[in-house]
Homo-oligomer: A and B are copies of this chain.
Amino acid sequence: MKLALLGAGRIGQVHAANIHLSPRAQLHAVVDVNPEAASALAQRYGAKASTDPKAVLNDPALAGVLVCTSTDTHVELILEAARRKLPVFCEKPIDLDLAKVDTCLQEVQRTGTPLIIGFNRRFDPHFRTLREGIRKGEVGDVEIVKITSRDPAPPSPAYVRTSGGIFRDMMIHDLDMARFLLGEEPVELFATGSCLVDPGIGQAGDIDTAMVVLKTQRGALCHIDNSRRAVYGYDQRIEVFGSKGMLQAANPVPTTVTRYTRDTVSVDKPYHFFLERYPEAYRAELDHFLDVIEKRAEPMVTGSDGRRSLILAEAAVQSLKLGRPVPVPG
């Protein structure tokens, strides 16, 4: 399957490498607004480079397209693909504007274009095992979900200004994970937070330390905590508690080595950041996209999932602003 990659940035490079490694796929073309970036990545894997996504998408040889560009171009590029009924994989979020997302998804649905959103953590083997355990009834009825998600170091205030803020940019992954694990939609959300890490983030109008509490119709509770800076590395843990037990996914670490000295007993730190933490997830995500292209699977992370997580992120923004819980729109 020949694939086009739109966006040659950090996450685009991850997908390019995985496409290259896959015996099922081939990196056909790389598009980036920066021609050098496109060329450099294309050359590494023997693909064509371009700055013109439309021209590339016109190639009838293409089996699918991955949208890894900046968020404000996602909707336009998804629509270009939808016009050609070309299966699309799009990094999260679809857009920061819910109205634009709605319009886009209607068009995607109208054309019947397969669309997958890049919530990579759903493909992580540790978290999938939680989901599978819930499905098998290992915890009984889910009552409490707790998600810890902390980045190793804060982004620049400049980035924060355009990112949509911590809820739309960072916690959106956790909000999607909450839906994935709760098995029903949250109906109420309370968000709070502080600027404790970098005053520049506060000056940019955002917070860097956040907590959200979700509640479902049935009364299940979910707590998410985010920090933009965990000095010990990327911290991604989940706990699911229910009527019959509990499942926990801890941070995987590079090696199983324990070191004993006169002063301390130590083990490996968590991985540095998402590229080191989620390699299997990115590979599984691509495999799933290839399955969808080949019509061997229905999308596991749909446009609707992308939309629902955005709605939750919006609710968090609202709740933080109002200083009280808000109902989550249906």
- Chain A residues with CB under 8 Å of chain B are 20-21, 23, 125-126, 129-130, 133, 138, 141, 143-144, 146, 148, 150, 188, 190, 192-197, 209, 211, 213, 215, 218-221, 223, 225, 227, 229-232, 235, 241, 243-252, 254-262, 264-270, 323-325
Given contacts A245-B260, A247-B258, A256-B249, contact A219 B196 (CB under 8 A): yes
Residues of chain B contacted by A257 (CB below 8 angstroms) = 126, 129-130, 133, 247-250
| Nearest-Cβ distance from residue A297 to partner chain B, whole angstroms | 22
Contact A264 B269, beta carbon cutoff 8 Å: yes
Given contacts A133-B257, A195-B219, contact A144 B265 (CB under 8 A): no
Residues of chain B contacted by A150 (CB below 8 angstroms) = 241
Contact B143 A209, beta carbon cutoff 8 Å: yes
**Stoichiometry (number of copies):** 4
| Nearest-Cβ distance from residue A245 to partner chain B, whole angstroms | 4
Residues of chain B contacted by A193 (CB below 8 angstroms) = 221
Residues of chain B contacted by A148 (CB below 8 angstroms) = 146
Contact B133 A259, beta carbon cutoff 8 Å: yes
- Sample 9 A-B pairs with CB under 8 A, ordered by A number: A126-B255, A126-B257, A196-B220, A213-B213, A230-B241, A232-B260, A245-B261, A248-B260, A264-B269
Given contacts A192-B325, A194-B219, A215-B194, contact A258 B248 (CB under 8 A): yes
Other-chain contact of A213, B129, B190, B243, B250 (Cβ < 8 Å): B190
| Nearest-Cβ distance from residue A273 to partner chain B, whole angstroms | 14
Contact A256 B250, beta carbon cutoff 8 Å: yes
Other-chain contact of A246, B23, B232, B323 (Cβ < 8 Å): B232
Contact A266 B264, beta carbon cutoff 8 Å: yes
Residues of chain B contacted by A218 (CB below 8 angstroms) = 194, 196
Residues of chain B contacted by A262 (CB below 8 angstroms) = 231-232, 244-245
How long is the Cα–Cα vector from A281 to B196 in the complex, in angstroms? 34
How long is the Cα–Cα vector from A146 to B215 in the complex, in angstroms? 18
Residues of chain B contacted by A220 (CB below 8 angstroms) = 194, 196
Residues of chain B contacted by A144 (CB below 8 angstroms) = 209, 211, 225, 227
| Nearest-Cβ distance from residue A49 to partner chain B, whole angstroms | 18
